[in-house]
Structure 1
């Protein structure tokens, strides 16, 4: 089936016209009010009415842009721990509505894609196939089935026309960045959207995703902490992999026990830092929907559409910079930052000032144990986002080299999920085991 067949539920001329007519006045007022609050103005400058209007406008945009909005929403969701609960709650509600209301592909379209991708006799490869999707994602949906050998499998099917619609959605979202600025102060959403657009081609190639999943599955085969379902079959727009039961991380964030929170957080850190060393890949989509906590205590990973290829493992300078910073060696920190391109040659900054800027962000690895909380992340976000602070002024002088862009975003996103989990544990030991350069040899 070609891309000019049935399209995913997004991307039309009439929808674009409706989007163009959405008013931004309330969002602008909400942004102004939140800015006043964050800069020390009275809390009553941000009223419940403004928050509600912003949430309503956000959903108006998200609701019209199901594919692209879900992709951006999932990416941003890991950062919601950095904003006050009264702002984050309407955002979470909008995302839940978005996911629940995403209409499934017609059954005939599902069958047509399977026939085109797996062959006209695709039904013979399954003992059973459930026509009703088990889950909807930004560019496809997942069906539960039984493979011909009796294994329970997940069948991930890409929406026809996903490429065109998703790119159109992301182009539209760039125009509404101010809506998201009202919820994520200090974050410029446009570069994030630009990065998503740059990675769309990779995420739409299920062949690449299947290869990444196979690499992770091989690297973690028989592992006592991480489980990756094996790929059973794949095609450019379909992936069949073993079904994985477990408690979704979103449920643990909402109602999990202390033991579940701590276990999930620890294993997320293990996956983040061990993946590049073991598989040559960094799992680059840390939102909670991609993970399950299994009954046996292992962390299940179920989506590999976004990965960063790091065949040599995590860059050694990251570990070395952390080691210098924890030792208080400001000059060495600045020298390494310059060498890696974080400080441009023509920029003069104070070495101790740079260390003071970085030091609070290293709290999780100062002592053997650390407790990730929303309050801690909100404190760090406010410190960096407030234009009156030295941290904010210094941060604007620093540069993020392209080679570190994705690693940086994934690390910050993973920290956001740990804060949502309210997870406590021995994170320094994970760094010591897996991050090159952190332990001096």
Structure 2
């Protein structure tokens, strides 16, 4: 496949062939078993063939189909291991690779968007793409001022293809449901469809990336490349090297895994408070692990302001095409509900969930049962440090997915308000990546620093702690021990 298939009939035919292929392989598997082959061996081979066809089609079609595949890849850690094994390698490939556009097509888009003399804007331009995404591909180049840059070129017809894919996927989504037991795929497809227009708008993406780049310019832990140039179908940003997170997942050291996990959690929760925006596409292809920051001496020969190297690995963040706009940061109700759940305040948690629309007015639930449902899921938020594993993720998925489980019965009665849908997806996706990393993370530290409502400060009155806005006083006025 050399170009983005734009005709709806072509794309529909490819997607429609998926269920036919599934049925054909099931028949093939039955024949193999009748012929005496081991059931386990046949099942494994059947799953591998299914994975190969499914993600080959998704990768070729790019657009909404590839984006759906990327979304599936994030939740890979929730799959039972006997199913996840054959799929894992194919899923990972989809995150960073897809058949490229022909060079002639790329040049045509650049000429249309940047002018006939577009080559004069670059000292160098690599025709071979370095990465592919759902609506465009990235080329490495050198801008005319000498900066190394990433040039994202949008596929011609990407908007039409995305809408067509998502319409088709909504029809076939029940066939993909078994890939993630217990998860309702329809809301995910609906959400992606609602976000298509924003992701196609490179002006909105450039604005979101510039805002993050300004805020994190001196950050010792997180690197966001700045925007160099933007037009309707071309986005030029600073280039950053580094090790893709997918490589850390597959072969990184434990130190790299832990550091990447800590910084991923930090970026997730600090970003909305610092920029008013939530990066809403946290799959491994959008992150890099970078070397420590170099020392930047000031005029007096000492470290300049914000310029000293931390000596630790940093997280590079890419692709701001999908963001959630949260002017006040993440909702304070999330932090309050988390804290109260950890503290066992079942009645208060239940009333807050009802007020926010997580429990419909027509439904009555036992507050203690709701607390029992939530506590295992939020376990990482209450621990000083927590090791995220695929086994833990699978246990949570199985607990909620099992129709015989009380958690399953209760979960079916809960509601997800539309305003929380993207936050919920981003949080789950990030947890999925942390489990793929197998990272040990001090999540509670990040929540206390960055999640409104989670950390309660106290004022001290007659040696008794009272909730308030001020931290404990120190020094002589607060007594010999200096407060808490």
TM-score when scaled to structure 2? 0.83
Which is further off, 385-394 or 173-182? 173-182
Q: State the Cα RMSD in Å.
A: 2.3
- Report deviation, 1:425: 2.3
* Aligned 8 A contact 1:269 1:427 in 2: yes
Instruction: Indicate the SS of the match to 1:58.
Output: helix
Taking the TM superposition and a 5 Å limit, the aligned residue runs for 1:348-367 are 348-367=364-383
* Aligned 8 A contact 1:26 1:50 in 2: no
Q: What is the CA–CA distance in structure 2 between the aligned matches of 1:163 and 1:57, rounded to whole Å?
A: 24
> Which residue does 1:40 correspond to in 2?
none
* Aligned 8 A contact 1:10 1:66 in 2: no
* Aligned 8 A contact 1:66 1:98 in 2: no
- 1:145–1:293 Cα change, 3 Å: same
Within the candidate set 109, 112, 117, 1:116 is matched to: 112
- Report deviation, 1:323: 0.9
- 1:325–1:243 Cα change, 3 Å: same
Within the candidate set 390, 409, 423, 2:406 is matched to: 390
Q: What is the CA–CA distance in structure 1 between the aligned matches of 2:15 and 2:96, rounded to whole Å?
A: 21
> Which residue does 1:288 correspond to in 2?
284
- Deviation digits for residues 198-239 of structure 1 (CA, Å, limit 9, x no counterpart): 101000111110100000001111100101001111112111
- Report deviation, 1:24: 4.8
Instruction: Indicate the SS of the match to 2:179.
Output: coil
Q: What is the CA–CA distance in structure 1 between the aligned matches of 2:423 and 2:151, rounded to whole Å?
A: 29
> Which residue does 2:306 correspond to in 1?
none
Within the candidate set 439, 451, 455, 1:439 is matched to: 455
Which is further off, 176-185 or 193-202? 176-185
Structure ID, larger Rg: 2
Instruction: Indicate the SS of the match to 2:291.
Output: coil
- Report deviation, 1:84: 2.1
> Which residue does 2:342 correspond to in 1?
326
- 1:21–1:124 Cα change, 3 Å: closer
> Which residue does 2:44 correspond to in 1?
48
Q: What is the CA–CA distance in structure 2 between the aligned matches of 1:8 and 1:287, rounded to whole Å?
A: 22
> Which residue does 2:70 correspond to in 1?
74
- 1:98–1:184 Cα change, 3 Å: same
- Deviation digits for residues 322-342 of structure 1 (CA, Å, limit 9, x no counterpart): 111011000000010011111
Within the candidate set 292, 299, 302, 2:315 is matched to: 299
- 1:305–1:436 Cα change, 3 Å: same
- Report deviation, 1:11: 4.2
- Deviation digits for residues 352-404 of structure 1 (CA, Å, limit 9, x no counterpart): 00000000011102221110000000000000011111100100111100110
TM-score when scaled to structure 1? 0.91
- Report deviation, 1:138: 1.1
Taking the TM superposition and a 5 Å limit, the aligned residue runs for 1:123-202 are 123-202=119-198
Q: What is the CA–CA distance in structure 2 between the aligned matches of 1:23 and 1:367, rounded to whole Å?
A: 44
- Report deviation, 1:87: 1.5
* Aligned 8 A contact 2:48 2:87 in 1: no
- State yes or no: 1:368 paired with 2:364: no
How many residue pairs were aligned?
425
Taking the TM superposition and a 5 Å limit, the aligned residue runs for 1:68-107 are 68-96=64-92, 98=94, 102-107=98-103
* Aligned 8 A contact 1:67 1:138 in 2: yes
* Aligned 8 A contact 2:66 2:134 in 1: yes
- 1:15–1:217 Cα change, 3 Å: closer
- Report deviation, 1:88: 1.9
- Report deviation, 1:114: 1.3
- Report deviation, 1:430: 0.6
- 1:28–1:130 Cα change, 3 Å: closer
- Deviation digits for residues 268-313 of structure 1 (CA, Å, limit 9, x no counterpart): 0000000010011001001000000001111000111111000111
